[in-house]
Structure 1
Amino acid sequence: MRRNSPISLLAVGHACVDLYQGAVAALVPFFVAERAYGYAAASGLVLAASLLSSVAQPLFGALTDRWAMPWLLPTGTLLGGAGIALSGLSGSYGLTLVFVAVSGIGVAAYHPEAARVARLAARGSHSAMSRFSLGGNIGFALAPLVVSFAIGQGSLRWTPVLVLPALAGAALCVPVLRMLARSRAGTSGASAPRGADDVASFVKLSLAVVFRSVVFTGLSTFVALHAQQRTEGGTTAGTVALFLLFLGGAVGSLLGGFLADRHGRVRVSRWSYLLSAAAVAGVVYAPGPAMFLFVALTSAGLYVPFSLQVTLGQDYLPSRMGTASGVTLGLTVSIGGLIAPLLGHLADSTTLRTALTPLIAMPVLSWLLFRTLPDPTPPEAPTPLQEPGDSAPAGPPTPASSTRKAPS
């Protein structure tokens, strides 16, 4: 428990932060009902949160490469919660948009530095990193339930209640940051050599993440409607399909870390993407209820490489780990959302199944890119975070902890 508590605290804190990514979409029906927002206005809120957050993450990553900013963990958490908490208090669409954007910036500020600290806490374990990623998945999936519980029986004036997860998440950051400070204090000031950046491999990895984002975003947007058409089960069938899509992601995140510790990140990701292509084909073409099985398999397959890609990006760019985290966690993920309207237009022009068919090729493209990638060995094991009473870590400091400037 002492060994695992830092990554466990970070995973729960990650859940608290990513809850606010899902909360924006969960609030849309309430904005439409109480303020008569149209589809364009409602989608503008979602776009302001998701796109701004995704684009800003690499910028925050670049900053954390230059200066150590562990304080971004509690600060980003509080900003994410404060923006959502204030979004329901003003009748002005402009102010609502600003508050939602503030929440997106808070989420963006949190992730690159959190990924770096989680890598330290994981002590080289891919299973531990998968638990950190799982926390975010759970938070996102719980957002509709939390929003419904907080304001479902009232009105938007109850949105301040939604700041409570942020307060809890920020409090959980405090012991982790204390452990980080003790780890730094226990290391010498000598600089450890960094590994060489492999920019070509990082670009290929980023493209693979883009293709993964396209297929997952496309399915999450249209799988409920597709399930209704294929099974004639009405809205219940659509709800079940979405639930399986999220549940499979939780299973895949844990499975990915377990397998990578034994077989290597690149090899596991290759097989996962190849199997995902077959599973997506089953989602699109399997008859009747059989499609539900393929939805679960697709989700698990697409989430197996999720946390592995974050650490791969960090190892391909060891001198810019924050930037790598920001790109793999943010920018490349958002591109899938830009493709969804094109799929919708194609579905309007043909059929939904025809529009979903190109998604089968996306995991294949990711698989082809992973076939060209090496499985890097980190230059040095990360300096572990120290629990109270633990002795200082022995050996030279790592690049992630010793070559960065101290925060001002």
Structure 2
Amino acid sequence: MAVVQAVREQGRMNRDAVWSISGSHFLNDLSTTGLVPALTQLYKPLFHLNYTEISLIVLVSYITSSVAQPLFGAWADRHPKAWMLPLGLLLSTLGITLTGVASSYGALLLMVAVSGLGSGAFHPEASRVAHLAAGRAKGLAQAIFQVGGNGGQAIGPLIVSLFILSAGLHSILWMFIGVALGLVFTLRLYPWYKAALRDYAKVRKTIEGENRIGAVALLVVVIVLRSWCQIGIAQFMPFYYAHKFGMSYQLSDALMFVFLGAGALGTFIGGALADRMPKQRILLLSMLLSIPFGFGLPFLHGAWAAVALLPFGFFILSSFAVTVVYMQMLLPRNVSLASGLTIGFGVGAGGIGATFFGVLADHVGLTSVLYILMVVPIVGAILSAFLPVDSKGGFARA
């Protein structure tokens, strides 16, 4: 029986495919958004960098991996290629691994760019794997897929704190294990995905629904604001804790693990709820509930910082998988492009924002940057209120 037809008729999730692509997502995001911001603590003294140059590393990573994703996604919608899945993951893991032997700042930026391009090619295909394997549980499948990525982002700072900071940058060469695991995961999926793409090409012409461009643009803005919070906190809080409270980088990285780990949990729960609740409502609530905890971050340290970071990370990232499924509803004819705009461009624009905040930190200080970041969820909540409310049957007509 055809793969997509079987899924549609039975409505069952292909759990093996979903969990395999989640594991692949873990390795990809560990290599990019997980390790790159945390490794700036090592890059800074090694290459004698200022905050602007540190932010440029993050900018290169996010432009190549995320901002380019809509382009990869649009191309993947027209010319889907199953081989892009293993190739993308290979480049993303290999690129960051080779930063361990970078001889100059320019070589470092090149390796980060290779890793980013691999991630940009991987994400649209990987998100479509989760979409095709989901059956009727689109939210849950995206939650499992996204929690793999968020888990990689959370583990990255912890690996840097517990191992790489003490062992030195060369120890990142152990990531060759991740390169091998990535090939195992994606090549294992390759036969199923290749068959699924053939069947999907046949049913794609029968998909109903029109793209809602205005709502898509507004949702992208909200996702960008959410990304500014996530990336800004992950990049600048360790430096802030060190300068303001004298906290060690090891402890501050542990706090970033709390923040991003709570975000991974929020991603899973939010995605699971997306099959039962309007996605616009979940997005709005995630922004509103994060606001009071965010305002406490610049003033708390030690255990109290963890008390604020845990719910802040949980709520601000609980809409991560939700917005992917929501965007797919707004762009029913362009599933990969929807992924590129949510996981890709929205998050990548957060990297651009991080570069701006890095320049701002050099001129006005880290404290002022954190105050700005605390206001961002308020703006996100206001804009979320203007998005169309969805239901299981789609969107109500105006």
- The interval holding the TM-score normalised by the smaller chain is 0.7 to 0.9
Aligned equivalents of 2:111 and 2:357: distance in 1? 30
- Is 1:318 the equivalent of 2:332? yes
Match of 1:138 in 2: 151
Aligned residue number for residue 19 of structure 2: 8
The answer to which of 85-94 and 212-221 deviates more is 85-94
* C-alpha distance 262-167 of structure 1, shift in aligned 2 (>3 A): same
Q: Which has the higher helix share?
A: 2
User: What percent identity do the matched residue pairs reach?
Assistant: 31
Q: Which residue of 1 aligns with 2:128?
A: 116
**Distance apart, 1:373 and its partner CA:** 1.8
**Counterpart code for 1:103:** S
Contact 1:89–1:159 (CA<8 Å) still a contact in 2? Answer: no
Given candidates 238, 256, 274, the residue that maps to 1:260 is 274
How far residue 2 of structure 1 moved from its aligned partner, in angstroms, is 8.5
Render the CA deviation track for 1:46-77: whole Å, top value 9, x for unaligned: 33222222221111011101111221110001
Aligned length: 378
1:198 aligns with 212
Checking the alignment, whether the CA contact within 8 Å between 1:129 and 1:307 is kept in structure 2 is yes
Q: Which of 157, 168, 180 matches 1:167?
A: 180
- With normalisation by structure 2, the TM-score equals 0.82
Change (3 A) 1:378 1:197: farther
Q: How does 1:338-377 map to 2 (within 5 A)?
A: 338-340=352-354, 342-343=356-357, 353-376=367-390
- Residues 106 and 288 of structure 1: is their aligned pair in 2 closer, same or farther, counting only changes over 3 Å? closer
Pair 153,366 (structure 1): closer, same or farther in 2 beyond 3 Å = closer
Q: Note the C-alpha offset of 1:29.
A: 4.8
Residue 211 of structure 1 corresponds to which residue in structure 2? 225
Which residue, 68, 87, 94 being the options, matches 2:80? Answer: 68
CA shift at 1:153, angstroms?
A: 6.8
Q: Cα offset for 1:281?
A: 2.1
Report how far residue 165 of structure 1 moved: 1.0
Distance in 2 separating the partners of 1:277 and 1:156: 36
Q: Quick one: structure 1 residues 186 and 359, their matched pair in 2 at CA, closer, same or farther if it must change by over 3 Å?
A: closer
Deviation for aligned residue 1:361? 2.9
Specify whether residues 331 and 297 from structure 1 end up closer, same or farther in structure 2 by C-alpha distance, changes over 3 A only.
Answer: same
More displaced stretch, 20-29 vs 136-145 = 20-29
- Is 1:20 matched with 2:34? no
Residue correspondence of structure 1 range 233-272 to structure 2 within 5 A: 234-235=247-248, 238-272=252-286
Name the larger-Rg structure: 1
Shift of 1:36: 4.0
Instruction: List aligned pairs for 1:361-400, cutoff 5 A.
Output: 361-376=375-390
Cα distance change on mapping 1:308 and 1:341 into 2, 3 Å: same
Partner of 2:4: none
Are the counterparts in 1 of residues 18 and 129 from structure 2 also a CA contact under 8 Å? no
Q: Secondary structure at the match of 1:300?
A: helix
- What 5-or-longer segments of structure 2 have no aligned partner? 1-11
Matched, 1:81 2:97: no
The CA deviation at 1:346 is: 5.8
Aligned residue in 1 for 2:109: 97
**Structure 1-normalised TM-score?**
0.80
Q: Residue 300 in 1 paired to residue 314 in 2?
A: yes
**Structure 1 pair 66/351, CA: closer, same or farther in 2 (3 Å)?**
closer
